[in-house]
């Protein structure tokens, strides 16, 4: 079955630690995205990538980093510089055009202790 | 950039009631328009979409029509079920080749009571 997987589903981190969230897709999509979801705030774009080895900052990139070494993988690192990292993180992918449907993974809930 | 306004809720209805969730947007040109649904603890699923003016997207009894005159994409369903309880997001896409993400509304929490 084609789709997007995110792991882990739940993640706990101590303050001051970096943590990496995994996102893998087997849909052969060119574009991949990371969103952050907070209660009552909808989704906000963190980073996106249109092709391998290239990525762009979204609306709230501060305190986050990404890499795109393979077409199917787009990991997100939440660094210690992110002041309020507790949130639900969603990864998505699409064929690449602005009119294309984005397909979402199941999400990772990150809690900072 | 794009922006979206949708009723935030929670919207509480009885089973078999008629549903309307309003969505209006501002955007350059005529983007594709999407409705996504999110069930508790899960990611977003595409519910329906429309790619040009006057198109009607439909799925699982839900419908929405692309109205360019009013820049709206209201979601409707004639008879809701308890299983429709979820959060619904309206999202205009971006024009051209720039795959820089969708613009999401804050979501409308829908609660259907038996």
Q: Write out the DSSP string of A44-103.
A: EEEEEEEETTEEEE-TT-TTEEE--SBTTB--EEE-TT-S---EEEEEEEESSSTTSPPE
Q: Which of B44, B96, B97 sits opposite A90 (nearest CB)?
A: B44
Distance from the B94 Cα atom to the nearest Cα atom in chain A, whole angstroms: 4
Close Cβ partners of A70 (under 8 Å, ≥ 6 residues apart): A52
What pLDDT does residue B2 have? Answer: 74
pLDDT digits (tens, 9 = 90+) for A33-51: 999 999 877 889 999 999 9
| Spatial CA neighbour of B35 closest among B98, B105, B101 | B105
Mean pLDDT, to the nearest integer, of A1-5? 84
pLDDT digits (tens, 9 = 90+) for B30-84: 788 999 999 988 899 999 999 889 999 999 999 999 999 999 999 999 999 999 9
Chain B residues lying within 8 Å of A43, measured CB to CB:
44, 89, 102, 104
Neighbours of A96 (CB within 10 A): 16
Q: Which of A6, A101, A103 sits opposite B49 (nearest CB)?
A: A101
Instruction: Give SS3 for B84.
Output: helix
pLDDT digits (tens, 9 = 90+) for A79-107: 988 889 999 999 999 987 666 789 999 99
| Residue B97 pLDDT grade (very low, low, confident, very high; cuts 50, 70, 90) | very low
Q: Which of B36, B41, B101 sits opposite A45 (nearest CB)?
A: B101
**How many contacts (CB atoms, under 8 Å) link A and B?**
75
Q: Which of A30, A43, A105 sits opposite B104 (nearest CB)?
A: A43
Interface contact A97-B107, CB threshold 8 A: no
Chain A residues lying within 8 Å of B95, measured CB to CB:
98-99
| Residue A113 pLDDT grade (very low, low, confident, very high; cuts 50, 70, 90) | confident
Neighbours of A7 (CB within 10 A): 12
Interface contact B106-A41, CB threshold 8 A: yes
| Residue A76 pLDDT grade (very low, low, confident, very high; cuts 50, 70, 90) | very high
Q: Are A72 and A89 in contact (CB under 8 A)?
A: no
Q: Are strands A108-112 and A10-13 parallel, antiparallel or unpaired?
A: parallel
Residue bearing tokens 């009885």:
B14
Q: Are A29 and B71 in contact (CB under 8 A)?
A: no
Interface contact A98-B94, CB threshold 8 A: yes
Q: pLDDT at residue A25 above 90?
A: yes
Angle at A17 between CA A43 and CA A53, to 5 degrees: 60
């Amino acid at each position: 079955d084609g789709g997007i997987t995110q792991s882990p589903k739940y993640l706990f981190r101590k303050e001051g630690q970096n943590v990496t969230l995994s996102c893998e897709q087997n849909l052969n999509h060119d574009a991949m995205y990371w969103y952050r979801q907070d209660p009552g705030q909808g989704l906000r774009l963190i980073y996106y990538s249109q092709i391998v080895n290239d990525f762009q900052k979204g609306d709230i990139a501060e305190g986050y980093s990404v890499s795109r070494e393979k077409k199917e993988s787009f990991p997100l690192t939440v660094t210690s510089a992110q002041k309020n990292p507790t949130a639900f993180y969603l990864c998505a992918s699409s064929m690449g055009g602005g009119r294309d449907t984005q397909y979402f993974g199941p999400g990772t809930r990150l809690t900072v202790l | 950039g794009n922006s979206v306004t949708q009723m935030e809720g929670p919207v509480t209805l009885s089973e078999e009631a008629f549903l309307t969730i309003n969505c209006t947007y501002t955007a350059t040109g005529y983007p594709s328009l999407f409705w996504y649904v999110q069930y508790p603890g899960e990611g977003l699923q595409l519910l329906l979409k429309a790619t040009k003016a006057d198109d009607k997207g439909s799925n699982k009894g839900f419908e929405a029509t692309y109205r360019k005159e009013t820049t709206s994409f209201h979601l409707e369903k004639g008879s809701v079920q308890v299983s429709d309880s979820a959060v619904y997001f309206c999202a205009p896409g971006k024009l051209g080749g720039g795959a820089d993400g969708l613009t999401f509304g804050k979501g409308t929490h829908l609660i259907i009571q038996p």
